[in-house]
Amino acid sequence: MSVFTGAGVAIVTPMNADGSVNYEKLAELLEFQINNQTDSIIICGTTGEAATLSEQEHIDVVKFCVDQVKGRIPVIAGTGSNCTASAVELSVKAEQTGADALLCVTPYYNKATQSGLVAHFKNVADSVKIPVILYNVPSRTGCNLLPDTVATIVKETKNVVGIKEATGNLSQIAKLMSIMDSNFELYSGNDDQIVPILSLGGKGVISVLSNVAPRQTHEIVADYLKGDVQSACRKQLDAIELITALFCEVNPIPVKHALNLMGMDVGPLRLPLSPMEPANLEKLRKAMVNYGLIK
């Protein structure tokens, strides 16, 4: 049940001036990604402002993405929630739209116990037949999915196939991979750790950077996997200034501004996310110039 290898983009959700979803622009972004070698689309995740989408908008955006991509690369739908019943409902509906896989974040705010996390993910996975990728990002959820817990979830379900790891804790990730079999799929959730995660057996990255530099992010993974570690490392390090700028304020504030600086016109953010502070915007602009994305 392998989902993808390479660089998948955690794509933004473009908005019109009135805050509604701009589907025409979303179609353009999807074609830009596919034409620049992105290996998968992750729709309605954190970067896609899923927390501010209504349930109907969420499913409509997933369906639009599936219909636009037309099977050319996998579409992975974010369907996580802090309410298990809501996560199950979103997951079932995303499967019905034709999504190839699901990305499910740990429940946020509730701060579930490890046994609660097992029960939560079992309920979600058992509600669908398509692959499920866990998403561990304690900095945003207040909840850390521990290695032994992941192993239990995988053992007790048929379709939990991997994890997006955004703890930043390479020791924890190494422990996880040491107890999982070779079929388990590890994806970096941090753009500054693509190469380190690959060195621990990772299959790629679910990336914010890919929104603005899809081909370059794809090449970091592709070079590493074909054995050119030196090239992959060089490209990883070349992107560090830009990656740092893309996270100088909470994601996806900077990446939406970056796309607008590139002339992509992805529109505003939905509250409570707000425009960048001028000093940070200038930092982002400088990093984009240095990386060759704008003049």
Active site residues per annotation: 135, 164
Cis peptide before 74 (omega within 30 of 0): no
Residue 96: CB atoms within 10 A of its CB come to 12
Radius of gyration of the chain (CA): 18
CA distance 262 to 265: 8
CA distance 198 to 192: 12
Residue 85 burial class via C-beta count within 10 angstroms: exposed 0-12, middle 13-18, buried 19 and up: exposed
Closest CA to 101 of 120, 82, 127, 74: 74
Q: Which residues have CB under 8 Å from 228's CB, separation 6+?
A: none
| Beta carbons of 113 and 144 less than 8 angstroms apart | no
CA distance 132 to 88: 12
Question: 146 in helix, strand or coil?
Answer: coil
Q: Which residues pair with 10 in a beta bridge?
A: 42
φ/ψ (deg, to 5) at 124: -65, -50
| Beta carbons of 145 and 117 less than 8 angstroms apart | yes
CA distance 256 to 212: 9
